[in-house]
A and B are shown apart, each in its own frame.
Chain A
Amino acid sequence: MIGYATGLRAMDDKQVKRLKARNVRTALILLSVALAFFAGIIWRRWS
């Protein structure tokens, strides 16, 4: 991958892994908020 992988050269493997896991956690939290809004608005009007 251009950019990202090279950008993490200053880190060792463990640090990179930890950062990527943290990024994925943050993304999943945000995605679940978005999905909750989407499902919530339809469910509220469905029931």
Chain B
Amino acid sequence: MSAVIGHEHDHDHAHGHGYQPGGIMRWVKTTNHKDIGTMYLWFSFVMFLTGGVMAMVIRAELFMPGMQVVEPERFNQMITLHGLIMVFGAIMPAFVGFANWLIPMQIGAPDMAFPRMNNWSFWLLPPAAILLIVSLFVPGGAPGVGWTLYAPLSVQQGMGMDLTIFAIHILGMSSIMGSINIITTVLNLRAPGMTLMKMPLFVWTWLITAYLLIAVMPVLAGAVTMTLTDRHFGTHFFNAAGGGDPVLFQHIFWFFGHPEVYIIAIPAFGVVSQVIPAFSRKPLFGYTSMVYAVASIAILSFLVWAHHMYTTGLPVTGQLYYMYATMLIAVPTGVKVFNWVATMWKGSLSFETPMLFALGFLFLFTLGGFSGLVLSIVPVDIQLHDTYYVVAHFHYVMVAGALFSAFAGIYFWLPKWTGHMYDETLGKWHFWLSMIFFNMIFFVQHFLGLAGMPRRIPDYAPQFTDFNMISSIGAFGFGLTQLLFLYVVIKCIRSTEMAPQKPWEGADSLEWTHLPTPAPYHTFETPPTVK
């Protein structure tokens, strides 16, 4: 990694830069990237718990056959909101939080390029989250259509659907503003000498993710706008009776939805690419190939959307194209997995909590990738479409992939953020309990899917009971384990024991090599020179 010369600690000033409001107004008005990053991370955790409670309701209902906890309509609403809240409220903002905290520090910039817009990007999120949650309490309740919001069902829903559409518009605006900010920051505010190919991989992954967001969030906004006009303004985009086409919605949604998977996964790759070299005490193997692999994955993600739609009556040639194109993504993904393994090869490994979560990510995300390959095969997918196999697959990608990587990143950078070390023993407990309970929930769901249990149904045939009970017990355990995580973080923040400037021997990006711990409120007021 790049060496840095000059300006040792001349940026350590947390005072004297004019008026700074205190109390709640500090957070409302702040334009500081660290404050905003912190708010994103806490917001995403609150949303994670909210979506988690909905998951508990879902798993309580599915604990045994028959109806237990909620009415079928409410169950469908839980399914919808759980998906929307976890994707748009929990995982995406978590990685935007990382981006806010780390990108300026890792490229030697004083802040994001548009700090006021950064504040606005964050503060759009709470109203959108409130709209989503309030939709549960309006007549007809929240939409019961699943997070994919498929027409024509979404056109027929109650006013909860309108609130959801409005929430998605707001979330989309927030994401686009955030992306513009990230791209502008990375392109224009890098320190002298910090060429693109010297940037830490986390910055690269976010640069590429931001481009993805700018390309696909407007497409989702377009899809839900058309749904809105179909609902209220007499258009027939998705209404077959009026000359429209419901399958059109699926094409537009998945043109957004498949890149969205990578919008979540690619920053996770970035975090893991920082953590594994640090605990292997070796530079990342194949840096250049990693950058090109991420870019290839991003480009390919635009070309495979209809693999979610094999059962809609695609022509065989179309099915073949989407099958092979989807399989092609395994190549750059494989490059990344092999590079992470090669980074560890003959490294001086140690297994602190961030490394454990990164390794958990590596094993389980790869498993999720494999089940994705299985689903890319048309005849197999036609059998498994809308079964629990699909639910298992994408949770291996979203939870074991993105969430475990976020945990790895939080444990890795907590000392830099708070100035204190977290409790290593409790961190390891958090990892192992998460690992065990996660697999309890989702590994068995592969078998349920293979046996034909459909998703998004509140009841099931009695032969599925045993695996569902295991899955539900795992879910309750996983939920409780995340309260342990909250305790570890709060304990770390309140700790009086100061962390060393560089607690991780192998960490080599600017925030570790050139900034004190905790990172001061203002950093790199004078840009460092990167050699």
Q: A30-B183, A33-B215, A34-B218 are in contact. Are A8 and B110 (CB under 8 A)?
A: yes
**Are B32 and A2 touching (Cβ within 8 A)?**
yes
Q: How far is the CA of A23 from the CA of B115 in the complex (A)?
A: 12
Provide the residues of chain A in CB contact with B225, threshold 8 Å: 38, 42
Provide the residues of chain B in CB contact with A37, threshold 8 Å: 214-216, 218-219, 222
Q: How far is the CA of A6 from the CA of B184 in the complex (A)?
A: 19
**Are B525 and A2 touching (Cβ within 8 A)?**
no
Provide the residues of chain A in CB contact with B189, threshold 8 Å: 19
Query: B31's contact among A1, A23, A45, by CB below 8 Å, is which?
Result: A1
Q: A23-B113, A23-B184 are in contact. Are A7 and B218 (CB under 8 A)?
A: no
Quick one: CB contact mask for A1-40 with B, threshold 8 Å, 1 for yes?
Answer: 1111111111000000001001100110011011111111
Across the interface, name the chain B residue whose C-beta is closest to A36: B218
**Are A45 and B188 touching (Cβ within 8 A)?**
no
- Secondary structure of the B side of the interface? helix
- Secondary structure of the A side of the interface? helix
**Are A27 and B109 touching (Cβ within 8 A)?**
no
B248 to chain A, nearest CB (A): 7
- Central interface residue in A1, A9, A22, A31, by most chain B CB within 10 Å: A1
Query: B214's contact among A2, A10, A33, A42, by CB below 8 Å, is which?
Result: A33
- Central interface residue in B109, B111, B226, B527, by most chain A CB within 10 Å: B111
Provide the residues of chain B in CB contact with A9, threshold 8 Å: 525-526
**Are A26 and B184 touching (Cβ within 8 A)?**
yes
Provide the residues of chain A in CB contact with B110, threshold 8 Å: 3-4, 6-8
- Central interface residue in A2, A8, A42, by most chain B CB within 10 Å: A2
- Central interface residue in A7, A22, A26, A45, by most chain B CB within 10 Å: A7
**Are B176 and A26 touching (Cβ within 8 A)?**
no
B180 at the A interface (CB under 8 A): yes
Number of interface residues of B (CB under 8 A): 43
Across the interface, name the chain B residue whose C-beta is closest to A41: B222
Q: How far is the CA of A22 from the CA of B183 in the complex (A)?
A: 12
Q: How far is the CA of A38 from the CA of B255 in the complex (A)?
A: 13
Provide the residues of chain A in CB contact with B248, threshold 8 Å: 45
Quick one: CB contact mask for B211-251 with A, threshold 8 Å, 1 for yes?
Answer: 00011111101110110000000000100000000001000
Q: How far is the CA of A42 from the CA of B221 in the complex (A)?
A: 10
B187 at the A interface (CB under 8 A): yes
Provide the residues of chain A in CB contact with B285, threshold 8 Å: none
**Are A2 and B17 touching (Cβ within 8 A)?**
yes
Provide the residues of chain A in CB contact with B116, threshold 8 Å: 1
**Are A27 and B31 touching (Cβ within 8 A)?**
no
B109 to chain A, nearest CB (A): 7
Q: What band does the interface of chain A fall in when counting residues whose beta carbon is under 8 Å from B?
A: 20 to 34
**Are B183 and A26 touching (Cβ within 8 A)?**
yes
Provide the residues of chain B in CB contact with A22, threshold 8 Å: 188
Query: A7's contact among B187, B222, B237, B522, by CB below 8 Å, is which?
Result: B522
Query: A38's contact among B17, B180, B221, by CB below 8 Å, is which?
Result: B221
B114 at the A interface (CB under 8 A): yes
B404 at the A interface (CB under 8 A): no
Interface residues of B in 18-48 (CB under 8 A from A): 18, 20, 30-33
**Are B113 and A3 touching (Cβ within 8 A)?**
no
Q: How far is the CA of A36 from the CA of B221 in the complex (A)?
A: 12
**Are B188 and A7 touching (Cβ within 8 A)?**
no
B100 to chain A, nearest CB (A): 11
Q: How far is the CA of A8 from the CA of B522 in the complex (A)?
A: 11
**Are A42 and B183 touching (Cβ within 8 A)?**
no
Provide the residues of chain A in CB contact with B181, threshold 8 Å: 27
Provide the residues of chain B in CB contact with A19, threshold 8 Å: 188-189
- Central interface residue in A3, A6, A22, A45, by most chain B CB within 10 Å: A3
**Are A3 and B33 touching (Cβ within 8 A)?**
yes
Query: B115's contact among A1, A34, A40, by CB below 8 Å, is which?
Result: A1
B274 at the A interface (CB under 8 A): no
Contact sample, A vs B, 14 pairs, CB 8 Å cutoff: A1-B115, A3-B31, A4-B110, A7-B111, A8-B110, A22-B188, A26-B184, A27-B113, A27-B184, A34-B217, A34-B218, A38-B222, A39-B222, A42-B222
